[in-house]
A and B are shown apart, each in its own frame.
Chain A
Amino acid sequence: MFKSRFFHKVEKFNGTFTQLEEKSRRWEKLYRQRWAHDKVVRTTHGVNCTGSCSWNVYVKQGIITWEHQATDYPSCGANIPGYEPRGCPRGASFSWYEYSPVRIKYPYIRGRLWKLWTEAKKQFDNPVDAWASIVEDPAKEKEYKSVRGHGGMIRVHRQEALELISASLIYTIKKYGPDRIAGFTPIPAMSMMSFSAGARFIALLGGEELSFYDWYADLPPASPQVWGEQTDVPESADWYNSSYIIMWGSNIPLTRTPDAHFMTEVRYKGSKIVAVSPDYAENVKFADDWLAPEPGTDSAVAQGMTYVILNEFYQKRHEQQFINYSKQYTDLPFIIELVKSKANDGHLTSGHYVRITDLKGAGEKNGEWKTIVYDQKQHNFVVPNGTVGQKYDPSQKWNIELKDEAGHDIDPAMSVLDQDAPTEEVVVDFPAFSNEGNSVVARHLPVRKITYADGSEHYVTTAYDLLLAQYGIKRHDNDDLAAKDENDASSAFTPAWQEQYTGVKAKLVTQIAREFAQNALDTGGKCMVIMGGGVNHWYNADMNYRTIINLLMLCGCVGVQGGGWAHYVGQEKLRPQEGWANITFANDWVKGGARQQQGTTWYYFATDQWRYEEMDNQKQYSPVYGSSHQYLHNADYVQMAIRLGWLPSYPQFNRSSLSFVKDYGTKDIKEISAKVVDELKKGTLQFAAEDPDAKINQPKNFFLWRSNLFASSGKGAEYFMKHLLGAENGLLAKPNARLKPEDMIWHDEETTGKLDLVVDMDFRMVSTAMYSDVVLPAATWYEKEDLSSTDMHPFIHPFNKAISPMWESKSDWQQFKLLAKTFSEMAKKYLPEKVYDLKTRPLGHGTPGEIGQVGGEIRDWKKGEVEPIPGKTMPSLSLVERDYHHLYDRFIALGPNMVNNYGYEVQDAYDELKDSLGTFDEGYDAGLPKLDEDVNVCEAILHMSTASNGRLCDRAWKKKETVTGEKLEDIGRGHADDWMTFQKITAQPQEAYPTPIGTSAKHGGDRYSPFSLNVERKIPWVTLTGRQQYYVDHEIFLDFGEGLATFKPSLPPQVLAPQDVDVQPADKEVTLRYMTPHGKWNIHTMYYDNLEMLTLFRGGPTVWMSPQDAAKIDVKDNDWIELYNRNGVVTARAVVSHRMPEGSLYMYHAQDNEIYEPLSTITGNRGGSHNAPTQIHVKPTHMVGGYGQLCYGWNYYGPTGNQRDLYANVRKLKKVTWSED
Chain B
Amino acid sequence: MKIKAQIEMVLNLDKCIGCHTCSVTCKNTWTNRPGAEYMWFNNVETKPGVGYPKRWEDEDQYHGGWKLNSKGKLTLRAGGKLNKVALGKIFYNNDMPEMDDYYEPWTYDYKTLFGPERKHQPVALPKSQITGEDMELKTGPNWDDDLAGSTEYVEQDPNIQKIESDIKKNFEQAFMMYLPRLCEHCLNAPCVASCPSGAMYKRDEDGIVLVDQERCRGWRFCMTGCPYKKVYFNWKTHKAEKCTFCYPRIEEGQPTVCAETCVGRIRYIGALLYDADRVEEAASTPDETKLYEAQRELFLDPNDPEIVKQALADGISEEMIAAAQKSPIYRMAVKDQIAFPLHPEYRTMPMVWYIPPLSPVMSYFEGRDSIKNPEMIFPGIDQMRVPVEYLANLLTGGNVPVIKKALYKLAMMRLYMRAKTSGKDFDTSKLERVGLTEQTATSLYRLLAIAKYEDRF
Contact = CB atoms under 8 A, between A and B. Distances in A.
Interface of A: 5, 13-15, 17-18, 20-21, 23, 25, 27-28, 30-32, 34-36, 65-69, 71, 78-82, 84-89, 92-93, 95-96, 100-102, 111-112, 147, 149-153, 243, 253, 257-258, 260-261, 264-273, 280, 282, 285-290, 292, 511, 514-515, 518-519, 521-523, 728, 765, 767, 770, 1080, 1089, 1091-1092, 1094-1100, 1104, 1106-1107, 1110, 1116-1118, 1135-1142, 1153-1157, 1159, 1165-1166, 1218-1221
A1096 B449 contact: no
16 contacts: A31-B30, A31-B247, A65-B29, A66-B32, A68-B25, A150-B121, A151-B113, A257-B19, A261-B265, A268-B449, A285-B357, A765-B110, A770-B121, A1135-B148, A1153-B123, A1220-B120
Contacts of B183: none
A1138 B171 contact: yes
A1137 B124 contact: no
A518 B280 contact: no
Nearest to B114: A765
Contacts, number: 352
A1137 B150 contact: yes
Given A102-B110, A257-B21, A1157-B123, A68 B264 contact: no
Nearest 4 interchain pairs by C-beta: A270-B418, A152-B117, A253-B17, A1117-B149
Contact of A15 (B126, B169, B280, B365): B280
Q: Looking at B27, B106, B123, B212, which has the most chain A CB atoms within 10 Å of its CB?
A: B123
A68 B261 contact: yes
B18 A282 contact: yes
Interface in B295-318: none
Given A93-B28, A285-B176, A1156-B126, A1091 B107 contact: yes
Interface string B420-451: 11111000000000000000000001001111
A287 B150 contact: no
A64 B450 CA distance: 34
B147 interface: yes
A304 to B, nearest CB: 18
Interface stretch (B93-101, B285-293, B339-347, B409-417): B409-417
A257 B17 contact: yes
Interface stretch (B136-144, B223-231, B392-400): B136-144
Given A1096-B24, A1117-B148, 19 more contacts: A14-B279, A27-B215, A31-B248, A67-B25, A68-B261, A89-B20, A147-B117, A261-B263, A265-B449, A268-B449, A269-B445, A288-B365, A518-B368, A765-B113, A1091-B107, A1098-B148, A1138-B150, A1140-B171, A1219-B123
Q: Looking at A79, A1137, A1165, which has the most chain B CB atoms within 10 Å of its CB?
A: A1137
B421 to A, nearest CB: 5
Q: How large is the interface on B (under 10, 10 to 19, 20 to 34, 35 or more residues)?
A: 35 or more
B425 to A, nearest CB: 13
Interface string B247-263: 11101000001001111
Contacts of B15: 261, 264-265
A101 B110 contact: yes
A522 B422 contact: yes
Given A1135-B149, A1219-B119, A1096 B264 contact: no
Contacts of A266: 449
Contacts of B375: none
B140 A1097 contact: yes
A1092 B24 contact: yes
Contacts of A1136: 149-151
A848 to B, nearest CB: 47
Contacts of A1095: 105-106, 140-141
B69 interface: no
B92 to A, nearest CB: 24
Given A1080-B145, A1092-B27, A264 B417 contact: no
B263 A101 contact: no
A269 to B, nearest CB: 5
A1221 B119 contact: yes
B360 A79 contact: no
A1138 B170 contact: yes
B388 interface: no
B362 A272 contact: yes
A441 to B, nearest CB: 31
Contacts of A282: 17-18, 146
Contacts of A20: 204
Contacts of A15: 277, 280-281
Contacts of B19: 88-89, 253, 257, 260, 1080
Contact of A264 (B114, B121, B264, B363): B264
A37 to B, nearest CB: 10
A515 B365 contact: yes
A852 to B, nearest CB: 47
Contacts of A522: 368, 422-424
Contacts of A1096: 20, 23-24, 140-142, 145
B138 to A, nearest CB: 7
B362 A257 contact: no
B365 A1218 contact: no
Contact of B201 (A21, A150, A519, A1092): A21
Given A1095-B105, A1096-B23, A81 B171 contact: no
A1096 B46 CA distance: 12
Interface in B198-218: 198, 201, 204, 210, 212-215
Contact of A267 (B23, B251, B359, B450): B359
Given A1096-B20, A1096-B142, A1156-B123, A287 B360 contact: yes
B125 interface: yes
Contact of A150 (B105, B122, B138): B122
Contact of B453 (A65, A79, A84): A84
A484 to B, nearest CB: 23
Given A14-B2, A1095-B140, A1098-B137, A1218 B123 contact: yes
A23 B201 contact: yes
A287 B174 CA distance: 13
B89 interface: no
B451 A81 contact: yes
Contact of B248 (A32, A253, A260): A32
A523 B422 contact: yes
Given A264-B17, A1138-B151, A1156-B124, A35 B249 contact: yes
A20 B203 CA distance: 9
A14 B175 CA distance: 42
A293 to B, nearest CB: 13
B116 interface: yes
Contacts of A288: 359-363, 365
Given A253-B19, A269-B417, A1080-B145, A1155 B276 contact: no
B410 to A, nearest CB: 8
B347 to A, nearest CB: 12
B120 A92 contact: no
A273 B124 CA distance: 43
A1118 B413 CA distance: 44
